[in-house]
Structure 1
Amino acid sequence: MSADVICKAYQATEDGFLSLVTKQWPMKPQIAAVGSCCLVGVICNGTLYVANLGDSRAVLGRAVKATGEVLAIQLSAEHNVCIESVRREMQSLHPDDSQIVVLKHNVWRVKGLIQISRSIGDVYLKKAEFNREPLYPKFRLREPFRKPILSADPSISMHELQPHDQFVIFASDGLWEHLSNQEAVNIVQNHPRSGSAKRLVKTALQEAAKKREMRYSDLKKIDRGVRRHFHDDITVIVVFLDSNLMSRASSARALIYPLEGAELTSLRIY
């Protein structure tokens, strides 16, 4: 396992989707505008590798013995042009394009279309041959581009797991839109292994309802096709770490996955 191996896996996924788009283009040209964020966590020999494309996020919960608190540590880098450093990165990569990032309806977007700068898919902003008719006009750029606008290169970090590392939350931006890193970690710490992922989703939905000045029960009644206007999709995975297994992995240098349990909850709204 290495960062290079993970990069190759991402590229293979990107190439596979590009092949699918190429085959489907004559019958389903709108597939060229389909894309996804991609957050990956791999634990090998006591090291946690976190790779990310887009604006999903991985957050570690680390116990502080002196206070009994659990500290939230963000492990992933995000690629959303609402972040100033990401805007600067895009501008440096495309110095000849003054419209590479545009403020539209008070939201920064790449070419006025999409918020993320890296993804799997979205080939209409990576391959000029797919940015044309019969793709819907709202996706087509007025001028052709010579090099990819979006990237499929993940940001990768490596973290040597310690006995006081308790769990990792992997979640899409639908969660982080409503909860801070520390708020999410506190929820998991206060309700370990008892539906933590579901609690995170429910709390985020309660916050979304509050921002709309409505009740949570009323938000739940809204049809999913309409709820897209109230909150984004939310996917959460909580992985609990076992310090005993990590200790044995460190001493034996064996391939041990130090996971005591994991929970997954996903809410999709189309």
Structure 2
Amino acid sequence: MCVEGLEDAGRLDFGDQGIDKHADFAMERVCENTVSVDFKQTKLNNFVPFIRSGEWSDIGGRDYMEDAHVCISDLAKNFGYKAVDDEVISFYGVFDGHGGKDAAHYVRDNLPRVIVEDADFPLELEKVVKRSFVETDSKFAETFSHHKGLSSGTTALTAMIFGRSLLVANAGDCRAVLSRCGTAIEMSKDHRPCCINERKRVESLGGYVDDGYLNGQLAVTRALGDWHLEGMKEMGEPGGPLSAEPELKMITLTKDDEFLIIGSDGIWDFFSNQNAVDFARRKLQDHNDLRLCCREIVDEAIRRGARDNLTAVMVSFHQEAPPQTRVNRTGRVARSISAEGLHNLRVLLEGQ
């Protein structure tokens, strides 16, 4: 495991006994440059995912870095627990902070442990993950009730791989996209005020959308933290219009599933889902280096004009690079200009 950006504010112990329960905002980034392989096979499907990952982040044009992320190849072992039936559960997360970095760091450092320590882990993983998001959010409010960290919030997206299952949980506008034979499969939905279902949920809980913002203040409708914003959250059920409860999506991986891209919203402002998959596939075919590919995605977003903090995490399910294949996409889509071309045209027009 590599730990970068250690600060004096907290204590972390990444030995065999796991992480100190009193760990604070100690890491800018946590990653494990290791490979975990699930050798368990079933009689129904002989595909065994070969799990490897890479990550990269950049401050972009901002004065402060508020993104955080984590990559853990063996979640139970990382916290000193024995895996059930020796099944490895890998955990990956991207957390996009706003109003400060404290909420993003708190969720990154505590959410994985809350998941592992849940009594139903890992047998009822979907229930555990959903409950753990909300519990971590409540603990953040309690722990920092007299701390400046209370005045920050964060979106959160996590991906867990166990056996041939992939479980994605999302609260906010980070996004996860799966490459299946080169076709982009959306694994999460952005929680924004313009989403009809989210708007209905918000209004049913006493909130409103003003000029595209939740209660005129936030560009997302789900996030952890933000307890300082009046009228956004309430302890207990049903809670306020700003929800920490994630939406979940789980699939069974097959040999056609190549890799997963997880990115903060700064990435997706300049990449469509399919564009990101196409770009990543080409880079992996060149060098098959996931971390370098993440850096190239971030650098390309900056080249296209991104000014936000940028974080990309990739998880591959194969040891080999994606094959050189022609992607047959169903349906004809009229496309007169690329995302990059549209951005360049906008810059040109604004400069006149």
Question: Normalising by the residue count of structure 1, what TM-score does the alignment of the two structures yield?
Answer: 0.65
2:252 to 152, 160, 165: 160
**Match for 1:87: what amino acid?**
R
Q: Which residue of 2 aligns with 1:102?
A: 210
Partner residue of 2:136 out of 2, 13, 17 = 13
1:197 aligns with 2:315: no
Query: Percent sequence identity over matched residues?
Result: 29
8 A Cα contact 2:205 2:240, kept in partner = no
Q: CA–CA distance in 1 between the matches of 2:259 and 2:140?
A: 32
1:32–1:47 distance in 2 versus 1, CA, 3 Å: same
Between 1:7-16 and 1:150-159, the stretch displaced more is 7-16
CA–CA distance in structure 2, aligned partners of residues 84 and 176 of structure 1? 20
Is 1:57 paired with 2:175? yes
Distance 1:11 1:40 in 2: 14
> Structure 1: how far apart are the matches of 2:233 and 2:165?
41
For the Cα contact (< 8 Å) 1:164–1:243, is it kept in 2?
no
The one-letter code sitting in structure 2 at the alignment partner of 1:186 is: D
Provide the rounded CA distance (Å) in 1 between the counterparts of 2:180 and 2:231: 42
State the match for 2:216 in structure 1: 112
Matched, 1:47 2:144: no
Q: Aligned AA for 1:150?
A: L
- Aligned: 1:181 with 2:273: yes
Task: Give the direction of change, closer, same or farther, for the CA distance of 1:148–1:182 in structure 2 (3 Å limit).
Answer: same
Distance 1:174 1:46, change over 3 A: same
What is the CA–CA distance in structure 1 between the aligned matches of 2:128 and 2:202, rounded to whole Å? 26
Deviation, 1:124, is 2.3
Do the aligned partners of residues 188 and 76 (structure 1) sit closer, same or farther apart at CA in structure 2, a change above 3 Å counting?
Answer: same
Q: 1:167-191 CA distances to partner (integer Å, 9 max, x unpaired)?
A: 0000010000111001100111001
Measured against aligned partners, the alpha-carbon deviations of 1:119-141 in whole angstroms (never above 9, x if no partner) come to 110112477899xxxxxxxxxxx
Aligned length: 189
Answer yes or no: is the 8 Å Cα contact 1:32–1:122 preserved in 2: yes
Cα distance in structure 1, aligned partners of 2:128 and 2:142 = 21
**What code does the residue aligned with 1:239 have?**
V
5+ residue gaps in structure 1?
64-69, 131-145, 209-229, 245-270
Alignment gaps of 5+ in structure 2:
1-121, 321-352
Deviation at 1:9, TM superposition (A): 2.1
Q: 1:199–1:128: structure 2 CA closer, same or farther, 3 Å change rule?
A: closer
Report 1:59-74 matches (<5 A): 59-63=177-181, 70-74=182-186
> Residue 123 of structure 1 corresponds to which residue in structure 2?
227
1:203–1:3: structure 2 CA closer, same or farther, 3 Å change rule? same
Whether the 8 Å contact between 1:125 and 1:148 is mirrored in structure 2 is no
* Residue aligning to 1:236: 312
User: Counterpart amino acid of 1:101?
Assistant: V
More helix by share: 1
**TM-score, reference length from structure 2:** 0.50
Alpha carbons of 1:196 and 1:179: their partners in 2 closer, same or farther (altered >3 Å)? same
Alignment root-mean-square deviation, CA: 2.4
Q: AA paired with 1:123?
A: W
- What secondary structure is seen at the aligned counterpart in 1 of 2:228? helix
Name the counterpart of 2:198.
Answer: 86
